Chain A
C-alpha cells in the first residue's frame, strides 16, 4: 500500500513505470452481458412457466423412492429397533453413518452462505440459494436417523432439556447431547438464513403474480414476502440482517461437524479416539457438501439453460474447493496412519491395519479411491471444463464420503479391544430401504424447491453483473486490481 500512497501524492515510483503489472481481468460472473430484466425473467420464468413433464416424472419417482423410508420407519416403529441389522458389538451402524453423511452434505450450503459471504466471494450468488435449500433438506434427512435410532421414538423428546416430573436432566457432559443442540441450532439458523434471503425474491414473485392477475399465488407469495416493498430502509435492514446471520452461521460451519466428530472422538474406541477428528470431519463435510452441490447444480444448469448464470468460472471454483478439501481429507487419512504408527499404541496400530486389510478392506479402498484419487482430477482444466465428467466425479465424491463414515464407524466397532466380542456387521433390508428412501425424501423437497421458489437470489445476482459495476467499461484497458488505476479508491 506504500506505493499507492506515494503515487497518490503525485510521484509514482519509477519501478511501476517500467514494469507494467499484468492485466488480470476478473472473471465475469454473469456472462453474455445479460440485462437485469433477463435475469428476472429467467429465474421467475422457471416458476411461472408450465410444470415441465420431466418434473412430474422426477417427482413421482422421488415420491416412490421416499415411500421406502416411510415403509422402513413404519415397520421399525411397529416392530422395534431390532429390525435394523446392528447388534453387539456393532451398535452404531448405517443409522449413524447415514446421519453423519447427510449432516455433512449440508455443510457446503452453510459455507457458501456464511463464510463466502463474509469473504465477499461474489461467485456464491449463483449457487447459494440452492445450496442453502440443499442444507435444510439434508438436515431433514439426517435428523430421521438419530431420532429413530433411539428405538422408542415417542420418547425422542427426552433429548431436549425440558423440566419434567422425572426430576432428571440429560447428561450435559455427553457429546450426544451436544449433538442435539448443534444440529437443531444448525437447522434453525439455516432455515432463517434461507428465508431472509428469499424475502426480496418472494416480493418480486408476488408483484409479478399480482400483475398477471393470479391472486391466489400473489397472496401466497405475498404472505411470505411479509410486506417487502424494496425501500431503502428495507434493503438497509435486510443487508444488516444478512450480515449478522452470516456472522452467526460462520462458527456453525465449524462447530456442527466438530461436535458430530466428538460423538466418536470423546469415546475410547481405537480409531475414534483421535484429536484429528474435528478438522478432518469439517474438511470432509465441506468436501461432501460441494460434491452434492455439483451433483445438483450441473443438471439444474443444463435443464434450465442457466449457463450464463452458472458459468465455467463457478464450476471451476466449486471444483477447486472440492479439490482442496478432498486433499485435506486425504492428508487426514495419511496422518491417521502415521500417528497410529508413531503413537506406538498397539490397539490403534491394529485398528488401522485392520481398516486397510481387514474384513472391511473393500469399504476402505472404495473410500480411498473415491475421496483421495477422484478429486485429484480437478487439477486439470480439461476435466473441470467437461461438465459431464465433473458430474460423474461428484457422484464418486458422494459415494466416497458415505463410505468414509461407514469405515470409521463400523470397522472400529467390529474389532475393538476384546477379540471374543468381534463381529461382522451387515445391514438388514429395513436399513437399506430406509437409507435408500432418504434420497427420495431429499429429491421430493428439492424438486418442490425448484418448482415453487426462485433457485437463485435475483437481487444479488444483479449486483454482480458487469452492468452493475461502474468501472465495467474500463475493464478492457486495465482490469480490476490495477493499483495505478485504482489508487483513487485506495
Chain B
C-alpha cells in the first residue's frame, strides 16, 4: 500500500482538497445544525407537551337551504370522526331546546333579550372556575361568554355610543336575570358570568345544567348536534383539512398559531439547509474535479499498475481512502459543531418550554451519516469509473 501511495500521491493538490474540506465542512455543519434545530423545536410546536398545546377545531355543516333547520351530525358521521387518527378527542355541542329570556338592570331600567345556551363537555373548555357547576335545585346558572363579545363591546360598540368601557371583573359581578320557559314551566334564575373563553364562540352553560333543563323545560333528550368540537394535534395537518373537505364540513377556523409557527420554522430551516446544500454541492464539485485532474495527471502510472497485475479496485483504494478520511473528518467536526451549538440553544429552548429539555443530537447524526455516505459513494463511483475506463482493453 505504501508503495502505491508513494506513486499515486503525486499531483495531489493540497489547496484543492483544503478548499473542498473547508467548504464542505461549512455546508455540512450548517445542514446538520439546521435539521437538528428543526427536530428540537418541532415537538415544542406539535407534540404532546406542546408549547401552544393541542388545538381545537369546531366543525359545522354548512346551511344548504333557508328554513330547513340547521344541518346536524348523525350518529354515523360522529362515529366516523371518532375513527380518524387525527381526532384526539371529540365533544358534541348541546343546544337549549327551550326559551331563554335574559335581562339586566341598567341605569334603573330593565333591558331584556331572547337568548340561547350551548354546552360542551368540560374537558373542552379553556376556562377554570370554581363556580362552574350546577346541580338540580340551584338557583344560579354559571355562564361563560366568548371573550370576543367583550372585545366587540369595548372596542366597537362603547366607543361609538359614548358608553363606558367594562372590564371582565365588572361583568363577573353583574347578576343577570334568566327566565326559562317551556313544557308548562316558567322559572327565574340568576345568571353569573364566571369566565371568558377564547376557544368557544358561544354562550356556554355547564353540561349538567343543559341535560337537566332540556329534560325539564323541553321534555326533550338532546337531539343531533349541529356543531362538533375536535381536539387535534395540528389543525393545519393535511389529513385534517382533506377529511373535512371530502365530507363537505367546514371548520370555524381561526388561523392556528402553531401551524403558523411551524410554517415559519420550516421556511427558516429550508433556507438554512438550502444554503448548506449549496456549499456542500459546490465543494463536492470541487472535489470531483480535483480527483479527475489527479487521475488524469497520474494516468500512465495507473495504466502501468493495472498492466503489472493490480485490479482496478486495488488501484482505486488509495484515492478511496483519501476521500473516506476527508469526508469522515468533515462529518466528525460538523457533529462536534452541532453538539456545541445544541448545548448553547437548548438552554434557551428549556426556558421557553418551561421545563428542562434533554439535548440529543440523533437527527444530526442520522442525517450526517446518510449525507456523508452519499458523498463517499459518489466519490467512489467516479474514481472507480475513471480507473475502469483506464483499465479497459483498447
- Indicate, yes or no, whether A interacts with B: no
Interface residues of A (CB under 8 A from B): none
Interface residues of B (CB under 8 A from A): none
